[in-house]
Amino acid sequence: MGPDSRIRLMNEWAALRATRQRALRVALLPCAGRGERSGAGGPKQYVAMHGCSVVHWALLPFDTLHRQGHIDGMTVVLSADDGAFEAAVPSDLRARVHASRVGGPTRAASVLAGLQELHAQGLHDEDWVLVHDAARCLVTADELLNLIDVCEADPVGGLLAHPVPDTLKRSDAHGRVQSTVPREHLWAAQTPQMFRLGVLRRALEQAMAAGAMVTDEASAIEWAGLQPRLVPGSADNFKVTYPDDFERAGHVLQRRAQVGGTRS
C-alpha cells in the first residue's frame, strides 16, 4: 500500500471515529486459503453456490450491518498472487471492501498481517475487529448483532460458538474407540471472533513467536491468559471444509430463500 492510500484510510477512520463517538468495529476476513480438503480444485471461498461465491455470501451480512452503521469497515486478506477475488465479488460490494494482499502461509499469519495493516492505517488498539472465516458463508446479520452486543460489554471479547450435541469419542492410533469424552461444557468454536485490535495483535504475535498452537483467534487470547466469552450461535454457521459441505450449505441457502429471504 502506498503512502497516499494509507493517509486516505487514516483520514477515513478518523472521520468515522469522530462521527460514531465509540470504538470502531471492523470485519476482517482471511481469504488466502487454498482449500485442499474441499475437493473444489481451487480455493473453496471462490466456489459458486446459488449464484454467488462462498466469500460473497460470507460478506453479505457484514455489508448489511455496514450499511446500517453497525460495522464501520470490511477488509479481506488475500494472497499476493490472488487473481480470483475480483471475479468472485461484484463491483458494488467490492467498492465497500478493502482488499489487502498480505496473506501468509497460515490462517494465523494472514490474520496477524491484516491486523498489522489495520493498525498502520490508523485503527486504534481499543477498536474492535471481528475476524471471520471467508469459508463460513452462512452466518446471519442477527447473529453478528448479538455478538457485537455481548462483546462490547465484555472486558475480553468473545466468539460465536455452538454447544456440541453429539457423543464424542477419542480414538487410538488404530482408529478404535479409546474413550468417550463427556460433552458437557464443550462448544464448537465458530466465527466471527471479536476482540480489541491491540490485544489480539499482541496475543497473536507472542503466541506465534513462542511456537504455540494457534488454530483461531480465541486460542491466541487464551494463550495470553484471558478467557473469551462464548456467544451462542447457530449450527448453520459451519465452515465449508469438505466436498459434501457445499451441498449442505446450498440446502441452507435454499431453505432461507423459500422462507422469505436469502440472508440477513
Give the chain's domains with CATH numbers.
3-258 (3.90.550.10)
Alpha-carbon distance of 52 to 89, in angstroms, equals 8
HSE-up of residue 44 (Cα within 13 Å, Cβ side): 23
Q: What pLDDT sits at residue 41?
A: 62
Contact 228, 216 (CB under 8 A): no
Alpha-carbon distance of 53 to 45, in angstroms, equals 7
Find, among 165, 161, 184, the residue nearest to 233 by Cα: 161
Q: What pLDDT sits at residue 38?
A: 46
In Å, what is the CA distance from 250 to each residue of 51, 132, 144, 161? 10, 20, 21, 21
Tens place of pLDDT per residue across the chain (264 aa): 667 777 788 888 999 999 999 999 999 999 997 655 545 567 899 999 989 999 999 999 999 999 999 999 999 999 999 999 999 999 999 999 999 999 999 999 999 999 999 999 999 999 999 999 999 999 999 999 999 999 999 999 999 999 999 899 999 999 999 999 988 889 999 999 999 999 999 999 999 999 999 999 999 999 999 999 999 999 999 999 888 999 999 999 999 988 875 554
Contact 147, 130 (CB under 8 A): yes
> What is the value of pTM for the model shown?
0.92
Alpha-carbon distance of 84 to 48, in angstroms, equals 12
